[in-house]
Amino acid sequence: MLGALEEYENRKDKSPPFQPVLYSKTQNFDTRVLKWHPVGVKKDVLFYQFQADTDKTACTVELLPDACINILFECDPDNPRAMLSGFLQRPQAVQLKPGMTYFGFKPYTGSGFAFGELDLAELGDESVDLIQLLPDTEGLLHQLSEAQSFDEQIRLFSEYAKKQMIDQNYEPGFIDYFAMLLCTFRGTADLHDIQKSTGYSMRYCRERFREMHGISPKKYNNIMRFQSTLKQLMNSGDTKMTLTSLAANNGYFDQAHFIHDFQHFTNTTPSEFRRENMK
């Protein structure tokens, strides 16, 4: 597994979790990918910032499943707030305030983090107010709301998070490497082959994986495949790319299975999604 870890770290085509709805429905969307976690197997995290549209009385966007936890800060100087979301399996609607600045933190794994008494595996598709979980969060919220730049927000959050959010007792285990391998294969991995490389039974791997992530390895693998397909669908300059070729490129049995999975994760068809979210 260490060889696979080295392969993952050296990959030139790694790309961050993809949220095209946020990009297309908001303004001034900006991102930073940093090597951040001090001891995690997957050390990368995505920081992002955007402004909600000023022309609407209210704006609803959807966060799509990407096998990551997510913290979204609403940088309202008068009433700042922050919501922690778990490993989404379906789209999650988020109501935005018109013209408001938002700041987000998305680590590539939930392992190695601590949020008070919360068990991330039990959070699932739900969200919880970060103030309820961690000390001194209210002060951080006001600092982020008053920050003058995206880079300053990253600095302020990092100083806080490395003191309050890192699990000091965390030691990477075989499930961390299992998840990393699923990412490496972009959802096309043979779960039984990966299980054999761990030396444990498939049943034991499933149980431990669910304990850590709240979802099965199969569901995690499906989300990785969805993310890979979503990036190809939205980033390809070939407007004639067919759904059949997308399905074949990403290991789906056929086009029908691809469309079924895509609708599960987005509530719409691939063609409709691309049309509605091209910017």
Architecture category of domain 174-277 in CATH: Orthogonal Bundle (1.10)
Q: What is the pLDDT of residues 152-205, one digit of tens each?
A: 999 999 999 999 999 988 888 888 888 888 888 877 778 887 777 778 888 898
pTM above 0.95, yes or no: no
Domain locations along the chain: 14-164, 174-277
Q: What is the pLDDT of residues 71-129, one digit of tens each?
A: 999 999 999 999 999 999 999 999 999 999 999 999 998 889 999 999 988 898 899 99
Average pLDDT over residues 44-57: 89
CB atoms within 10 A of CB 226: 23
Q: Is the pLDDT of residue 1 over 80?
A: no
